[in-house]
Amino acid sequence: MDASEQVTCPSVTCFAYNTPEGTEASTTGTVYGVYDMSGGAYEYTAAYLVNGDSARLANGSTILSAHNKYKDNYTGYNNNKKGDAVYETSGLLSGSNSWYSDYSNMPYSSHPWFRRGGRYSNGSDAGVFYFFYDNGAAYGDCGWRVVALVGEGL
């Protein structure tokens, strides 16, 4: 089979293993990398606006009770918190203003949770630097990505 040839799979389109859409789409270019970094599905992060809103309290009790070193708490509507790629990659709080023209929009009172990455229907607005607000509820196109950080003090 040609490396760029599409394969018909049951109810979805699949690609050959050794193509840009196959294992080469992982962060390492191998089967061992992380997949779906851009535009596959929204991903919630352990970051939220601290505002006492019912959406934050109803949809994130496990994260809310976690130690602060495992989450990012935003206390206002700003992007000057360094280290989570909001401040570092976004010039403005709303619009296609993140690196590579990825879309960004800060959380607000009734939508205090961060989601990242964008989804397939976001087209060129989706990307590794995409972030957007959400109410934190469960959706079929939104998941979580577990990230392990290794460092002193963690």
Q: Give pLDDT tens digits for 5-59.
A: 555 565 666 667 677 767 777 777 777 777 766 667 888 888 888 876 666 667 7
Query: What pLDDT was estimated at residue 1?
Result: 46
User: What does the pLDDT look like over 73-132, one tens digit per residue?
Assistant: 887 655 566 667 777 787 666 778 788 888 888 888 888 888 888 887 888 888 888 888
Pick from 141, 148, 109, 107: which is nearest to 126 by CA?
A: 141
Domains of the chain by residue range: 1-35, 42-144
Phi-psi region of 145 (alpha: psi -120 to 50; beta: other; left: phi over 0): beta
Whole-model pTM: value is 0.67
